[in-house]
Amino acid sequence: MKTITDYQNKNILVLGMAKSGYAAAVLLKKLGANVIVNDSKPLAENPLATELQGQGMEVVCGGHPLELLEKNISLVVKNPGIPYSNPLLVAAKEKNIPIVTEVELAYRISEAPFIGITGSNGKTTTTTLTFEMLKEGEKHPVIAGNIGTVACEVAQDVTEQQVVVTELSSFQLMGIETFQPKIAVLLNLFEAHLDYHGTKKEYGLAKANIFRNQTENDYSIINADDEDVMMLIEQSKGQKVYFSTTKMIEDGACVKDGALYFKGEKVIDIQDIVLPGKHNLENILAAMSIAKLMGVANEAIIAVLKRFTGVKHRLEYVTTIGNRKFYNDSKATNMLATEKALSAFTQPVILLAGGLDRGNEFDDLIPYFGHVKALLTFGQTAPKLVKAAEKAGMKVIKRVDNVEQAVQEAYALSEEGDVILLSPACASWDQFKTFEERGDMFIQAVHKLV
């Protein structure tokens, strides 16, 4: 860990607990800061805050009092999920107090370079693939950010010989100042998190922050098939490396003659890749580009792609029962993810979908319903999904109470050769704490069928 004195004897406010807030508070105390922890949850229901209080930190719980800013605060480290419209953050901004997220702290103390991966879809798959390729290529990676360990925990132990591979959200990237990944990736962009960002433009600008501090010594990897991404890349000073599944790319990654190429060199035949879905070729091309730029041999990349079947809850193969294949795509928390999941199959699909209502309709799914023989829908958005399925002329549409019922009904309706797919197209928070919990319920329900 780099020895830095920036925070010594400074009053720093950590806003919001969870794992990232806890890790940031512990690190800042280690760096000599006077840490004040603030969380909306009452102390009695807040074991992490209680633990920090036991370590001698000032802890204020049960709300976000503006009086905290009267304590000569030098910096606010906020939980990524807390919106900038929070009155405490609005007041901090008015006082010109810097506001960052913990990934900024991680970057400042890390001896190892960072790889940053963001986008509306495919981040987890691309990050995991990158980690596996670098590991196979003996580049000593660690994985952090939205998957793996909190970045500022990981950054304390890494050396110059390692590399930190991070999956980054738009929320995290809004809170950076000096963060400068050696390799930055923007996979794609479409309307998401508008309840947080307000407009797609603001959302895109938040994502583009991943390139903000790069120089000509860094690399910016860009999806050449996404017009919005191509517009955002203009501000990057990094060396631009493009990938495409539809265009020939001489100085980047592309698909040609049934194989994947990087800078004109064939890496692997598509038929040797086990990860399903055309959309995953984009994620693979991005991860392959990172690996090649990091000096990983083709043999290591091929070895990973011949065994990597996907990440949990992202088009995850569960099992086959009665010649019906079950896939868990609970991480599909928006329509684009479900569109890509449906596009991955040619056989008849029974779709399980529904969840939190964020105000959107589901007509964009209609073109992808051609091989969907039945819809089982649940949650707040069930009526809207029913409406879209009816517009598509789908014959079998059923509303159920939950995922477990959906699995039972889907199996009863299915025939040999069908795919039964959980791909909700919605966030899970109407019925579950996380999409992982939703996916686990699906898996448990499937295994109960045996």
Residues of each annotated binding site for ATP? 119-125
- Strand 114-118 relative to strand 163-167, pairing: parallel
| Binding residue ranges | 119-125
Q: How far apart (Å, rounded) are the C-alpha atoms in residues 230 and 290? A: 18
Q: Comparing C-alpha atoms, which of 85, 90, 54 is closest to residue 69? A: 90
Check: CB of residue 355 under 8 Å from CB of residue 427. yes
Q: How far apart (Å, rounded) are the C-alpha atoms in residues 317 and 426? A: 20
List Cβ neighbours of 201 (8 Å cut-off, separation of 6 or more). none
CB count within 10 Å of CB 31 equals 20
DSSP label of 244 = E
* CB burial of residue 270 (10 Å; 0-12, 13-18, 19+): middle
Buried-exposed string 107-126: b where 16+ CB fall within 10 A, e elsewhere: bbbbebbbbbbbbbbbbbbb
CA angle 85-86-92, nearest 5°? 95
Cα separations in angstroms, 238 against 103, 114, 184, 249, 264? 20, 14, 9, 18, 21
Q: How far apart (Å, rounded) are the C-alpha atoms in residues 202 and 197? A: 6
Q: Helix/strand/coil (H, E, C) string of 124-186?
A: HHHHHHHHHHHHHCCCCEEEEECCCECHHHHCCCCCCCCEEEEECCHHHHCCCCCCCCCEEEE
DSSP output for 5-39: -TTTT-EEEEE--HHHHHHHHHHHHHTT-EEEEEE
Q: Retrieve residue 194's tokens.
A: 């508008």
Q: Comparing C-alpha atoms, which of 236, 191, 211 is closest to residue 335? A: 191
Q: How far apart (Å, rounded) are the C-alpha atoms in residues 339 and 335? A: 6
Q: Retrieve residue 210's tokens.
A: 């991943």
